[in-house]
Structure 1
């Protein structure tokens, strides 16, 4: 067991792997990461599946089988992706059982083209949950305005949800509200609230990428201060955790907690550093605080294992610093609301492109198998 990753886990951070492929499953790599690297969960997204299918000869036999059955590309996509998630759920099941369902989770996302379609998102979430058929699956729903009621309805049906593509604080507040409203409805529907879990995936590195780009374009005034760069992602996430602590308190939450409800844990996503000038562990070690999840690509996981320094709680003591930094960015002319709007649209668009590429690759493979 790696000492640095163990220290991270001991600090209350659940380490999830932001990657999934059939190769990881069939070679035993995922199981090995559970044993050696404290990995206690897995996240996937359209880009991850697109990469896996584009590179993976391990899918060829199943593609031929599906082609022989006359499956169209939508059916083939559903079968292949849910098969991988189901097998990953089985690998993670011992962790799920040992942590009373808190960890051992595997996430699968609704089609990104449904990001602005509430009813279709709810329907696909139910389909994915039923098709995977494992209790430790989490359905990823984007934190768009149309996604908020879909989160509520899905939670109300007793299905655990990973809310993805969260960038802004007001957006995050609406996500937490959607979760709590879902729990209230789930209780009315007779569900055991202790069985319902959720994480809120707050994206980190992309905030720095967008804000740094805007700072670089500034030619005069405080925006030209280079010390403002590379700090917004962490500051924004720290303020999100402050909001989380404030939200999950008080009479409304206490009434749900008395019925067994679980807090919706913050999950730090997009933790691979985009700027090579920055410390490649910063979005992990600078966001250490208990009751959080950090989902990492394997390169980030390896970097933390090699040289990540866990220095205790790096969130609560820095609330004032985080607020001051965001105020300094505003003074420098950075429009926070516009940054968040751009990032959310860009995030949805990127996943749509990846999904279209996945289906194009799979469609070509099906046609080749039929010829």
Structure 2
């Protein structure tokens, strides 16, 4: 947990709240969905594509465990997929036990093809953590492909398995359901080449396995760093001094305009008004009643963890959020001016790319000379 040393223009008190993010966090996930297997073609001896196997739509499930580095994820995956056979076409004799079938097309083919895989994946994420986020990636590993096929109720003409190298390509989207749970939808292309099996006659049957899957999933994030968000609030305005007189009456209280600055801070890459920021703004609005409806200036700022152009827009959204809060509580919109400075005026100097709470802020000023 980081600790921030705060030196403020006004005397402040610090309030801390934890914020959990995906970045620098472990996660586990489960996924499942429907799958289409491309026709599997086996070479038998010197005959290419001697047997072609057609499948019904099947199913695909997996489980993952990984680490989110922020923009890139590395994960280990175990998956299992299965599809039933509906027909076969053969250019060679099919051994089915007591009788060998002549070459032809067999609509009454049964059996199934399955693949158990162990993969290592890499994923690139793009988009905001708090909204819909896209990802693309791929993986490599090994797969154990098992083929068991028969015609009618006859014996299996192929019942064998092989373990080969495999790879996959992945693309999808995900969105947060809560601070620690994401829901995802993804497409996967899976490929296992150079399968070497043996049919019931002892002939070598060489082929490949390819599938296309659409899968939904849930991801559970845990163990990420807890960022300490320190939000300063101004101390109460000192009570106006009064001068005693021989008369037993109190001197009149002098009403003063307190122009600020009132400073509110924001979570990383956010423009939401936090409860602590709302408390500061409520105090500023209360003091504005003593300022004779004067001009209000809002200056939005960002830290250096994003691009300069992005941070200008982010600081403008923060200023707009503060303006909306002020107008919703009675300050006229035409009295409020905003300006976005992005990362150009940090309170705390940092290197480019560093997240710094004190630089993610909006400063509120009242009265003449409060422009930026």
Q: TM-score, normalised by structure 2?
A: 0.21
Q: TM-score, normalised by structure 1?
A: 0.21
Structure with bigger RCO (C-alpha 8 Å, 6+ apart): 1
Higher Cα Rg, which structure:
2
Higher fraction of strand: 2
